[in-house]
Amino acid sequence: MPDLVLQNVTKRYGQGPNVIEGLTTMFTPGSGTGLVGPNGSGKTTLIRLLSVLSFPTSGRITYDGVNIYEHPYEYLAHVGVVPADPDLPRYLTAVEVLEYVLRARNKWDDTGPARIEQILDRLILDERRHNLIGTYSSGMLAKTQIAVALITAPEILLMDEPFRALDEESTEAAIELINQFKERGGIVVLSSHIRSTLEAVCEGYVNFERPAAPVL
């Protein structure tokens, strides 16, 4: 699988200060990279850049040597995203959403129903998977969003605080799935304030900690 490469990436909003400044790094197949730092330090901004939901002010992001902003649909076919705030259709069930995603990615076949049941079983989403998403708890929404990100067998998994609504058992189940994805050569980029989950998934880190202001 190819590398995901950032070259001297800077991002600012309007005339404000740089949120990300001159970031150069490489995410390699089979790796997990944690994004660490306080709220507002740039972690979510980087996830948005890698998801092509935002554009860098300067610099390049490439996958397999191709600029992801010049060929976004080709790139996103390889990507699964877990946003900080899941935005799922309220009037479908988890099962229906996963079928829709597989069909939209041209990955639906006779094995589709079994694959859906398997991933929801792995994430411990019970029989309420057949209820409308509008009735789900925050934990059920989180499980569904993780399933949506993984069901198409992507090559890159971008996750922004995916565990904060999960109980301990569900977190362990999700970590197991993510680590298996990584073992198959997937790239994981994970933002989380929960240090134990970062340590369970990630071998490297991008640090967004800001230096302390000088004492005058």
Tens digits of residue pLDDT in 6-24: 999 999 988 888 999 999 9
Per-residue model confidence as pLDDT tens digits over 101-154: 999 999 999 999 999 999 999 999 999 999 999 999 999 999 999 999 999 999
User: In a 3-state reduction of DSSP, which class is residue 201?
Assistant: helix
pLDDT for 5:
97
Residue 71: pLDDT above 80? yes
Query: What mean pLDDT do residues 168-179 have?
Result: 96
User: In a 3-state reduction of DSSP, which class is residue 137?
Assistant: coil
Taking the C-alpha atoms of residue 5 and residue 65, their distance in angstroms, rounded to an integer, is 8
Q: Would you list the DSSP string of 91-114?
A: TSBHHHHHHHHHHHTT--STTHHH
pLDDT for 215:
42
Taking the C-alpha atoms of residue 59 and residue 79, their distance in angstroms, rounded to an integer, is 21
Taking the C-alpha atoms of residue 2 and residue 27, their distance in angstroms, rounded to an integer, is 9
- pTM of the full structure: 0.93
List beta partners, residue 63. Answer: 4, 66
pLDDT for 210:
61
User: In a 3-state reduction of DSSP, which class is residue 177?
Assistant: helix
Sequence length of the chain is 216
CA-CA-CA-CA dihedral for 192, 81, 78, 169, to nearest 10 = 70
Taking the C-alpha atoms of residue 189 and residue 104, their distance in angstroms, rounded to an integer, is 24
Per-residue model confidence as pLDDT tens digits over 27-59: 999 999 999 988 888 999 999 999 999 999 999
